[in-house]
Every structure is written in C-alpha cells, then in structure tokens.
Amino acid sequence: MIEVRKKEGESAQSLLYRFTKRVRQSGVLVETRKRRFTNRPANKRSRRVSAIIRSNKKKEMGRLKKLGLL
C-alpha cells in the first residue's frame, strides 16, 4: 500500500503529483493491467485445431489470389 503524507504548506496539487509519481515508480498499475486480461492457456487439441484452420484459410487466400478473385 502506498502512503503519502502532506507536508507543511504543501498544496493539494503537489501532493497529488507526488502520489501519482510514487504509484508509477512502484509498478502497481503495470501489474494490475497485466493481471486484468489474463486468459487460461488453451489445451493442446484446441491449439492444434486452430492452427489447422489458420493454415487452411491461408491456403484458400493464396488460391483466390492466384485466380484473381481477391
């Protein structure tokens, strides 16, 4: 937990600036962004099936380009 105490005669703007600087330096935001969108790893079968689908699409696109339909 990050804590910043107000110094004597310090404005709210400078206090907020010091706080945001501390948060950036600590790396808390970077870590939370990494954790926010993590997905479970796909199993071997689904990875293989998706690779086959991508390969077939690539072949089909190449075929259509050769025929001038794309």
Q: Cα separations (Å) of 26 from 13, 36, 37? A: 20, 18, 20
Structural domain contains residue 5:
no
- Could you read off the pLDDT tens digit of each residue along the chain, which spans 70 residues? 889 999 999 999 999 999 999 999 999 999 998 888 888 888 999 999 999 999 999 999 999 999 999 8
Amino acid at site 27 = G
State the first-to-last Cα distance of the chain, in angstroms, to the nearest integer: 56
Which of these, 7, 27, 32, lies nearest to 17 by C-alpha position? Answer: 7
pLDDT of residue 40: 85
Residue 23 lies in a domain: yes
- Give the position of tokens 């990875």: 47
The pTM score is: 0.49
In a domain, 1, yes or no: no
The position carrying tokens 């709210």 is 12
User: Is residue 63 a part of any domain in this protein?
Assistant: yes
- Confirm whether 46 is domain-assigned: yes
Domain count, the chain: 1
| Total residue count of the chain as it appears in this document | 70
